């Protein structure tokens, strides 16, 4: 074991120190802490370590309110929320230090009980996976999950879960339980205080109670969310995020907007009243079906959804502004090429991964310049941070 001083955070909230000229990433260590460490993984140019003993603790450290220390669900419970926001703000400031307009992070109203979905693993025990393993950490309650989800979880732990591999619990305006595996005790599950229950076995869904969807309302947009649809897990922050898209986009009634990776149409429908027309593109045909259903129930006439891969898109009409909200891996080469040739005045890039966001902005810089970026804390008590950025076209093509 070696005694070291932690110098700073890495982008995932681990402590960083150096030992014999090699960078060491130390889990659960904070800047300015003096600790004894044990190396757990050695690479040629860096190592990973864990704390064996705290010699001097940081004043930003708090006792974790969660009893499940080995759970891999969240990694910043050991610092105060104000300091977590500073960490996330500094991360964005360092990554994008070449632009002036980096706005203050938009904090969450609730540090806890914000998740509207959790997935629980089952194998003799019921809980989350331990970090970097498939060992289950048994849990009875998740601090990040909505109270309704924890009440359902509490009831489930009393049931016979033999032959069940995984449980997903969702809570919006109604609740849903998805059971992966086989169940014989149908009556016990049907008696749970859950609106909708589905069983997934051999890649086939069977609805045994209620519907195969749940409902929600984002500000004034009503949504049907199918069993396998992507939906943001923090509703209050999602509304703040979408309002920031509207602020940065400066939409007007002459705008035709292309919404790439539109999913079930949430962003498209949210901005539709501010613009002339929205074209939504999504590769998942079930998501497009849901988007059209959501368009219909909201009686919105100026949105048009198409099932297309983002990198195969061909738009024949003039698009004024483009919104992209890709997966964590960011934009692929063909999509970057399309954006650079699009002749759109503005690109609004929503990203859950600042690293790939920076990479993609570099690939767009020949034709677009980053004007403003706003971090949004969608996931308190984790190192993740969402960003909304706006890029302006440098010189319109003739």
Residue 310 to residue 260: CA distance in whole angstroms = 6
What contacts 321, CB < 8 A, 6 or more positions away?
249, 251, 255, 256, 257, 258, 344, 345, 346, 347, 348
225 within 8 A of 216, measured Cβ to Cβ: yes
In three-state form (DSSP H/G/I as H, E/B as E, the rest C), the secondary structure along the chain is CEEEECCEECCCCCEEEEECCEEEEEECCCCCCEEEEEEEEECCCEEEEEEEEEEECCCCECCCCCCCCCECCCCCCCECHHHHHHHHHHHHHHHCCCCCCECCCECCCCCCCCECEEEEEEECEEEEEECCCCCEEECCCCCCECHHHHHHHHHHCCCCCCCEEEEEEEECCCEEEEEEECCCCHHHHHCCCCCEEEEEECCEEEEEECCCEEEEEECCEEEEEECCCCCCCCHHHHHHHHHHHHHHHCCCCCCEEEEECCCCCHHHHHHHHHCCEEEEEECCHHHHHHHHHHHHHCCCCCEEEEECCHHHCCCCCCCCEEEECCCCCCCCHHHHHHHHHCCCCEEEEEECCHHHHHHHHHHHCCCEEEEEEEEECCCCCCCCCEEEEEEEECCCCC
325, 231 contact by CB (below 8 A): no
**Any catalytic annotation for residue 387?**
no
* CA atoms of 16 and 18, how far apart (whole Å): 7
Task: Using alpha carbons only, give the angle 232, 237, 239 rounded to the nearest 5 degrees.
Answer: 85
Specify the length of the chain in residues. 398
The residue from 71, 142, 352, 387 that is catalytic is: 352
Catalytic residue numbers read: 352
């Amino acid at each position: 074991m070696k005694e070291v001083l932690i110098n700073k955070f890495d982008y995932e909230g681990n402590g960083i120190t150096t030992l014999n000229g090699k960078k060491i990433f130390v889990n659960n260590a904070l800047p300015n802490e003096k600790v004894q460490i044990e190396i757990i993984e050695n690479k040629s140019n860096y190592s990973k370590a864990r704390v064996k003993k705290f010699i001097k603790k940081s004043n930003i450290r708090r006792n974790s309110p969660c009893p499940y220390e080995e759970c891999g669900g969240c990694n910043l419970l050991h610092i105060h929320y104000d300091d977590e926001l500073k960490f996330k703000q500094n991360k964005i400031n360092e990554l994008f230090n070449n632009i002036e307009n980096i706005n203050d992070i938009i904090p969450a109203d609730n540090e806890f009980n914000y998740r509207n979905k959790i997935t629980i693993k089952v194998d003799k025990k019921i809980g989350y996976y331990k970090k970097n393993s498939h060992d289950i950490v048994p849990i009875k309650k998740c601090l990040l999950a909505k109270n309704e989800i924890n009440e359902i979880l509490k009831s489930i732990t009393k049931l016979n879960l033999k032959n069940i591999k995984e449980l997903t619990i969702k809570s919006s305006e109604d609740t849903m339980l998805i059971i992966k595996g086989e169940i014989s005790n149908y009556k016990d599950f049907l008696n749970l205080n859950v609106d909708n229950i589905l069983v997934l076995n051999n890649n086939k869904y069977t609805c045994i109670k209620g519907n195969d969807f749940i409902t929600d309302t984002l500000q004034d947009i009503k949504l049907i969310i199918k069993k396998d649809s992507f939906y943001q897990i923090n509703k209050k922050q999602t509304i703040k995020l979408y309002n920031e898209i509207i602020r940065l986009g400066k939409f007007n009634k002459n705008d035709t907007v292309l919404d790439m990776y539109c999913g079930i149409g949430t962003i498209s429908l949210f901005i539709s009243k501010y613009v002339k027309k929205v074209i939504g593109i999504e590769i998942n045909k079930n998501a497009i079906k849901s988007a059209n259903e959501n368009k219909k129930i909201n009686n919105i006439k100026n949105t048009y959804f198409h099932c297309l891969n983002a990198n195969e898109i061909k738009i024949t009409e003039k698009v004024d502004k483009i919104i992209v909200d890709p997966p964590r891996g960011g934009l692929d080469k063909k999509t970057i090429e399309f954006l650079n040739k699009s002749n759109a005045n503005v690109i609004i890039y929503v990203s859950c991964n600042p690293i790939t966001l920076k990479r993609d902005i570099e690939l767009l810089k020949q034709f677009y310049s980053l004007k403003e970026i706003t971090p949004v804390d969608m996931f308190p008590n984790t190192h993740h941070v969402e960003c909304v950025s706006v890029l302006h076209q440098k010189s319109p093509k003739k």
